[in-house]
Amino acid sequence: MWLVTLAFWGCIPELTKNCVDMTNSSSTYSGIVGGAAVGAVISWWIYNRQMKTTRTQDYLLQRIKKIEENNGKILSHNEQFTTYHNTVLEKIICLNERILSLETKIESMTGKKG
């Protein structure tokens, strides 16, 4: 296999002995191999950074979703709390009106203000 590759690609003095120097083809092959290696490293690095970014974004989106759910629960509790307090306030106002009417009746019956 190695001989077929050398016959096809030519002689590379850096890899074989007893070879006639063909520096142009050697540098071309070395450039191709080096470029492929650098390209592979850069591609892996970009992929790795994108995966880290994606994981971080997914984590943040999940946290935002949980916070939004908690805020919805808090809002629901606040609405129930407000409704309850409005009901209690209405009852207090009604009780106050009854007390005032009783005071008025007592004053009218006794003829005293006070």
Mean pLDDT in residue range 32-36: 91
88 pLDDT higher than 80? yes
Band of residue 37 on the pLDDT scale cut at 50, 70, 90: very high
Say if CB 107 and CB 114 are below 8 A apart: yes
Distance CA 65, CA 57 (A): 12
Residue 40: both structure tokens together: 């592979």
Residue 38: both structure tokens together: 């650098």
Say if CB 39 and CB 46 are below 8 A apart: no
31 pLDDT higher than 80? yes
Say if CB 34 and CB 14 are below 8 A apart: no
Say if CB 6 and CB 12 are below 8 A apart: yes
6 pLDDT higher than 90? no
Residue 15: both structure tokens together: 């890899």
